[in-house]
Structure 1
Amino acid sequence: MRRRKKRFLFSTVCTLIILLAGLAGAALFFQIQGKIGASRKKPDALFLEYVEYLSRADYKAMYGMLDEQSQLNISEEDFITRHKNIYEGIGANGITAEIKQVEEKDGEAAVSYTMSLSSIAGEIIFNNQAEFRKEKKKGYEMVWNDSVIFPELGRTDKVRVITDKAQRGSVFDRNGRLLAGKGTASSVGLVPGKMREDSAGDLETLGKLLGMPADSIKKKLSAKWIKEDSFVPLKTIKKVDELNLNSMEPREDNVKNKEFQDQLLTVPGVLITDTQVRYYPLGESGAHLVGYVQYVTAEDLEKHPNEDYLTDSVIGRSGMEALFEKELKGTNGRTIAIADAGGALKKTLAAKPRTDGRDITLTIDSTLQMEIYEAFKEDKSGTVAMNPYTGEVLALVSTPSYDDNDFILGMSEETWASLNDDERKPMFNRFRQRFAPGSSFKPITGAIGLTTGAIDPNEDYGKEGLSWRKDESWGNYYVTTLHDYSPAILENAFIYSDNIYFAKAALKIGFDDFMSGLDKLGFNQELPFDISVAKSQYSNTERIETEVQLADSGYGQGQMLVNPIHLASLYTMFANEGNVIKPYLQYKPEPAPEVWLPGACSPEIADRIRTALGKVISSRHGTGHGAYRKDMELAGKTGTAEIKASKDDTNGTELGWFAVFTTDPSLETPILLVSMAEDVKDRGGSGYVVRKDKAILDSYIPGGR
């Protein structure tokens, strides 16, 4: 039994040995056959194989095709590094070759070809020749030197990519005034040859002044390119305004900047020179509108591949700089050339000229922009100014604000912290947000009510006093108003800003017609405007839920929230026979209005409401009478919105609104102004905003008062 088992095992082992030997032999046979097959390849087939490896960036396989002498001339590592640096450096892709001629003689061959490839500087096409040498056992192998890459490329030559940086476009206002563009700042740096030998203490002093570690300064000074007379830039700061400094009343910040720079110059080796930067002339008054740029980050480069950003490029972060980034940035020029060991250019392989960024001209009037900012700079406010007949946006202001130039010059941690810790939220862009509109919304309720036929403009809603509720189902909730008058008809309700009238009007219109009317006026929709803004809403849910909410919505309370630009657009219907004009920001030499919402109300309804809004200003009882001018007709509506935690909250705040427009389309400077200011409680409510806007209008529209 044991003998049979031993015989079986022996037989099995022998069989396995024979089988493995057979497999090994077969493998060897096929390997030999493969080598014989490869050795029989013609030079043209071998070259096309080489090009295929090149197109896949398989430089190791390319090296394996070289003859023995070529591999002695250059190591595999150097071969791979040279090819990788060149082809990746020029952004090579789409590599193809067309063989023109093959000559074979005495064991040598020459393959003539035309190669083409795409690069960051455009297409590169050249004629070249590759040589092959035939070995008895190996067949043809490539004879390689640097000229295989490009015909004129020598062993010590380099392929250089020269970048001609595109100039960023500028942003101008309607009158050609610069809003964003080239400016001059001061570059603070060190000249090593002028520093003291023992400069450790000086670097500590300089670091404290500039808000940067001394070690960081040392690192900059240790760069390989630096010589004794080099200027090593450390930080960019605001340039001293010499004209302002020599004026009768120089600005405090300018005086402090001069003192700061004088202190810097006491440190041996410090030099302050002019440098070109992105500049925002309006500063705080235009920061939320114009925005700012910053240097790209690694995340930016990853997010925007193949968009021609360099490591030292800038990118728009907010405002117009971000909105028109593609138009402003331009396209860098590139030249790919062969340079000798001394750096002299031998041959240009491809060149693409730069395309500078496009200039953008806005409809903005920077003088008006600054006047609005000055009027409201101490407030938390948002203002939009439009031409009500063309849709041109003349100003967009949010206060408090910040200086967008600080982002260019390198904002200190202290400044950044102060902006973010400020309770007034200077970085918060209010003209993009939405707020409770209060009584400034009443003309919208009036337009919907007249359109649906729910409101009879001559119906007297009765004398209710200063508070009213529909019935006992409302519990202790009453709608209150500030003025007692008679008769309670539509026109008087506008003049006296009667909350009770518009609460009753909303109930007459009804849930569905009221919400449908608002939907047709762009609520819960994107505003068709260059800048993305918050959608206006009439409820925190999908619909108005209760009678009380509906009544409150009628006079701009409840859960009603409106964006100021949207509200301004809706007011254009009263100046344009019921058509809502689309707002826009890019300047047109011959502006033509574009209707956003045609027939939002009929011409007759628009005329009726416009007339009533005119009396809000002209009547001595009107809530907007503070803006009255004898030389022209103004029409508008005030609004005071209560912001409180609950109906019983007595410590809430108030938002003040004023929407006002000129009614004469032939006026040289027609304007529609919508302003919202927070925290106007105990400061006059909407009357506070009326006084501010009155001053703005008197400055913007010359003539009698």
Structure 2
Amino acid sequence: MRRKFLLAICMLLFLIVVGGCSRNEAVEKSSSDYIKAWVQKDYKLMYSQVSSDSKSEISEKNFVNRYENIYSGMELKKISIKIDTDKDIEYKDGKAQVPVKVDMYTPAGEIKFSNTINLEKENKEWKIAWDSKAIFPQLDKNDKVRVEVKRGKRGTIYDRNGNALAEDGNAAQVGIIPGEFNKNGENTKAQIAALLNISKEDIDKKLSESYVKQDMFIPIKIIPEDDDRLNFLEQGLGISVRDVEERVYPLKDAAAHLTGYVRKVTAEDLKSDESYSADDVIGQYGLEKIYDSILRARDGYDIYIVDGNEKRKSTIIKKNVENGSNIRVTIDSKIQTLLYDELKQDAGTGVSMNPKTGEVLSLVSTPSFDPNDFVMGMSNDKWKSLNEDKRRVFYNRFQGIQVPGSIFKPITSAISLKLGTLNPEESKNISGLKWRKDSSWGGYYITRVEDYGQPSNLLNALVYSDNIYFAQTALDVGKDNMENQLKDFGIGESMPFEYGLSKSQISVNNKIASQIQLADSGYGQGQILLNPVHLMAIYDSFVNAGNIVKPYLLYKDHPKAEIWKKDVYSKEIADTILKDLVQVVQNPHGTGHGAYIPGMNLAGKTGTAEIKASQQDGTGTELGWFAAVNVDNPNLLVVAMVENAKDKGGSHYVVPMVKNVFQQVNLNN
């Protein structure tokens, strides 16, 4: 009897244990399947797994809408749900409670809480016993989740004088009220489309949307608040104008490549950075991109639960708004605009700095575009015209590298004087307009523009820009010495500058392959390519005793020069070259004499760089260069370059542009 009793007890325990294990596996599988659908935001699949009793309380449509409305309102990026293995699954009255940990990622921050998945047995299957608390433990049936967003303000970019280069400002939202506008007929529609640089079809499409009503304001185009077109648009044509906040670029085309612009975040941005919200903007280009982490605003969020009477019950998460920080840069808006106005008819670049401090005062690239169009909306026709412009509107020339031509000759001068291979007073006794080293050069000759007579010394070679003189000077320096010395000027390495610049180069591999290439390199041809900002920094060494000052963009209250390349050559050499560059401008025969300003002691150098397939090629083009600095008051150094200057006078076309900048700056001061 005792044996039978013990056997019965064992069988009962076995059934309980086996039954319990079997039940756990089924519950966990149903829970896991439900969690998987939940994480994937497949709300219809979730609904298919809920019990019949739950379905009688909420329809599939309302179930799906409840999740979608709450999660989209919160801008839910990702959700992680895991069964809490530190707690037991509880079973009672044929029901199960599975503890879970929920982790939500939103622009407001990370929301973490514990919850339970309730299950009940239905037709031998475990189904989800769902109610609103499955979303948030404190959410009841008639409760709602509210989201209040306080938009942060992106930081302003100021120039050195406190003028805005980029700011959150006002713009004009042009819209149509269909009931009034349609009275004016198709002609008015075509007229408005032309005025706003959009197509008539674009207007028709917006007016034909299913939600449109006759008394609604239908947004059509955003334009600057000071746009002259507003005077016509507001003359009773059924057009309405409203103020909106937009990112604004006051200098427009004059600083587009400098400031860049912002854009709305994309779906990819939202995936890569969970702190972004759908309405955020991000720096796409220029200073806006370089300093985006400083300028960027973080919106404030208050996500909370209200009851059926809209009374606040509880807070889910709250995050205070964080406005972006303002930045102040060294740019001078007046100089930026002056240089742009001089160059805007051409493809070119103009850069300037205070050579004594390293403060960059302007960075101009032309042709340009209006960055406001990227923020406020650009028509397809305008985008196409900019994109197809053969002058390459979107190419940033102050960021690139170009052939320097004769503007490079002072660098060759400094190297040869440093190595002692050149006596500046000694004449090389050059005559004629062409020269070659010997017959091994075949038909290749170095040419110059003018046979100015004797002496052919350093002063006259710079004043008359003598290619032959500097070709011979480079040959005297030697290939290895030239390569090593050019590297001392930073050529071939990345320049430490906030705005990424292409590396200047001696050649593709920073080697000089032949005597002819060495000779051509001496006067800035061969395969020499220089970045304009780098060239400007090299020129600042002539007023800084042979030290190259590091250019910079972030404004300092007490600017102090930071040396990038120290003692590249001596102060005596710098003084010699600077004195000769003064004569390039002051001497009536000097190639830079067109920049002469009475009472201003300018030192300068021209450069006309040839771009052609061979020495015999007559179809090539030319770049015109000019660099100048005020010697007596060296607070402004300007370098300008124009492409396609061959039929415009080469460097002589650029000289007056730089002169005008110095004159205007001098007048303003």
Q: Is TM-score (shorter-chain normalized) higher than 0.5?
A: yes
2:242 alignment partner, SS class: strand
Instruction: Name the amino acid aligned to 1:365.
Output: D
1:676 to 631, 637, 641: 641
Using the TM superposition, give the Cα deviation of residue 266 of structure 1 relative to its aligned residue in structure 2, in angstroms: 5.2
What is aligned with 2:10? none
Aligned pair in 2 of structure 1 residues 272, 82: CA closer, same or farther (>3 Å)?
closer
CA distance in 2, matches of 1:436, 1:40: 77
What is aligned with 1:122? 109
Aligned pair in 2 of structure 1 residues 493, 142: CA closer, same or farther (>3 Å)?
closer
What is aligned with 1:273? 242
Deviations 1:479-528 (A, max 9, x none): 22224242233233223322111101111111111112222322232222
1:277 alignment partner, SS class: strand
Aligned pair in 2 of structure 1 residues 167, 470: CA closer, same or farther (>3 Å)?
same
CA distance in 2, matches of 1:631, 1:301: 59
Q: Is the 8 A contact 2:77 2:270 kept in 1?
A: no
Which range moved further: 558-567 or 449-458? 449-458
CA distance in 2, matches of 1:361, 1:700: 21
Mapping 1:32-111, distance limit 5 Å? 35-37=19-21, 39=23, 69-70=53-54, 72-74=56-58, 82=66, 86=70, 89-91=75-77, 93=79, 107=93
Using the TM superposition, give the Cα deviation of residue 568 of structure 1 relative to its aligned residue in structure 2, in angstroms: 0.5
Mapping 1:26-37, distance limit 5 Å? 35-37=19-21
Instruction: Name the amino acid aligned to 2:253.
Output: E
Aligned pair in 2 of structure 1 residues 298, 202: CA closer, same or farther (>3 Å)?
farther
Q: Is the 8 A contact 1:173 1:364 kept in 2?
A: yes
What is aligned with 2:368? 401
Instruction: Name the amino acid aligned to 1:633.
Output: N
Using the TM superposition, give the Cα deviation of residue 350 of structure 1 relative to its aligned residue in structure 2, in angstroms: 0.6
What is aligned with 1:390? 357
Deviations 1:51-105 (A, max 9, x none): 9879966989998997774465456886677557656754464667989999999
1:231 to 211, 214, 217: 217
Deviations 1:317-347 (A, max 9, x none): 3322232233223222222222445766543
Using the TM superposition, give the Cα deviation of residue 539 of structure 1 relative to its aligned residue in structure 2, in angstroms: 2.3
What is aligned with 2:530? 562
CA distance in 1, matches of 2:185, 2:660: 57
Which range moved further: 544-553 or 189-198? 189-198
What is aligned with 1:626? 594
What is aligned with 2:11? none
What is aligned with 1:14? none
1:286 alignment partner, SS class: helix
Mapping 1:156-175, distance limit 5 Å? 156-175=142-161
Aligned pair in 2 of structure 1 residues 158, 562: CA closer, same or farther (>3 Å)?
same
Q: Is the 8 A contact 1:161 1:336 kept in 2?
A: yes
Which range moved further: 428-437 or 618-627? 618-627
1:435 to 387, 396, 402: 402
What is aligned with 1:550? 518
Instruction: Name the amino acid aligned to 1:184.
Output: N
Q: Is the 8 A contact 1:575 1:606 kept in 2?
A: yes
1:293 to 253, 262, 265: 262
What is aligned with 1:380? 347
Q: Is the 8 A contact 1:336 1:348 kept in 2?
A: yes
Q: Is the 8 A contact 2:30 2:127 kept in 1?
A: no
CA distance in 2, matches of 1:104, 1:405: 61
User: Is 1:334 the counterpart of 2:301 in the alignment?
Assistant: yes
Q: What residue ranges of structure 2 are gaps of 5+ in the alignment?
A: 1-13
2:544 to 565, 576, 581: 576
% identity of equivalent residues: 42
What is aligned with 1:145? 131
2:335 to 330, 345, 368: 368
Mapping 1:486-525, distance limit 5 Å? 486-525=454-493
CA distance in 2, matches of 1:125, 1:149: 12
Instruction: Name the amino acid aligned to 1:348.
Output: T
Aligned pair in 2 of structure 1 residues 587, 60: CA closer, same or farther (>3 Å)?
same
What is aligned with 1:596? 564
Aligned pair in 2 of structure 1 residues 620, 703: CA closer, same or farther (>3 Å)?
farther
Instruction: Name the amino acid aligned to 1:570.
Output: I
What is aligned with 1:484? 452
Deviations 1:8-50 (A, max 9, x none): xxxxxxxxxxxxxxxxxxxxxx999764435589x9x999989
CA distance in 2, matches of 1:387, 1:93: 53
CA distance in 1, matches of 2:202, 2:642: 48
Q: Is the 8 A contact 1:373 1:399 kept in 2?
A: yes
What is aligned with 1:698? 663
Instruction: Name the amino acid aligned to 2:394.
Output: M
2:654 alignment partner, SS class: helix
Aligned pair in 2 of structure 1 residues 196, 452: CA closer, same or farther (>3 Å)?
closer
CA distance in 2, matches of 1:631, 1:388: 20
User: TM-score w.r.t. structure 2 length?
Assistant: 0.83
Using the TM superposition, give the Cα deviation of residue 122 of structure 1 relative to its aligned residue in structure 2, in angstroms: 3.2
Deviations 1:188-241 (A, max 9, x none): 2123454558988876776666534557645556454x6664322122234455
CA distance in 1, matches of 2:551, 2:89: 72
2:594 alignment partner, SS class: helix
Using the TM superposition, give the Cα deviation of residue 387 of structure 1 relative to its aligned residue in structure 2, in angstroms: 0.8
CA distance in 1, matches of 2:504, 2:90: 80
1:182 to 163, 168, 186: 168
2:500 alignment partner, SS class: coil
User: TM-score w.r.t. structure 1 length?
Assistant: 0.80
Aligned pair in 2 of structure 1 residues 678, 75: CA closer, same or farther (>3 Å)?
closer
Aligned pair in 2 of structure 1 residues 143, 102: CA closer, same or farther (>3 Å)?
farther
1:587 to 551, 555, 558: 555
Aligned length, in residue pairs: 650
CA distance in 2, matches of 1:181, 1:294: 14
2:578 alignment partner, SS class: helix
Q: Greater Rg, structure 1 or structure 2? A: 1
Q: Is the 8 A contact 2:30 2:126 kept in 1?
A: no
Instruction: Name the amino acid aligned to 2:245.
Output: Q
Aligned pair in 2 of structure 1 residues 127, 690: CA closer, same or farther (>3 Å)?
closer
CA distance in 1, matches of 2:67, 2:51: 18
Aligned pair in 2 of structure 1 residues 117, 452: CA closer, same or farther (>3 Å)?
same
Deviations 1:112-171 (A, max 9, x none): 9997745422354668899898x8999999865323543431223333443333222221
Q: Is the 8 A contact 1:90 1:336 kept in 2?
A: no
Aligned pair in 2 of structure 1 residues 150, 644: CA closer, same or farther (>3 Å)?
closer
Instruction: Name the amino acid aligned to 2:653.
Output: Y
What is aligned with 2:4? none
Using the TM superposition, give the Cα deviation of residue 676 of structure 1 relative to its aligned residue in structure 2, in angstroms: 1.2
Instruction: Name the amino acid aligned to 1:281.
Output: P
Q: What residue ranges of structure 1 are gaps of 5+ in the alignment?
A: 1-29, 242-253
2:646 alignment partner, SS class: coil
Aligned pair in 2 of structure 1 residues 74, 686: CA closer, same or farther (>3 Å)?
closer
User: Is 1:354 the counterpart of 2:329 in the alignment?
Assistant: no
Deviations 1:538-590 (A, max 9, x none): 22455222211211110111222211111101112222222111111111111
RMSD across aligned positions (CA): 4.2
Aligned pair in 2 of structure 1 residues 538, 260: CA closer, same or farther (>3 Å)?
farther
Deviations 1:424-482 (A, max 9, x none): 34333222222221111011111222233332334332233332211122223222222
Aligned pair in 2 of structure 1 residues 585, 36: CA closer, same or farther (>3 Å)?
same
Q: Is the 8 A contact 2:263 2:283 kept in 1?
A: yes
Using the TM superposition, give the Cα deviation of residue 357 of structure 1 relative to its aligned residue in structure 2, in angstroms: 2.0
1:465 to 421, 428, 432: 432
User: Is 1:657 the counterpart of 2:625 in the alignment?
Assistant: yes
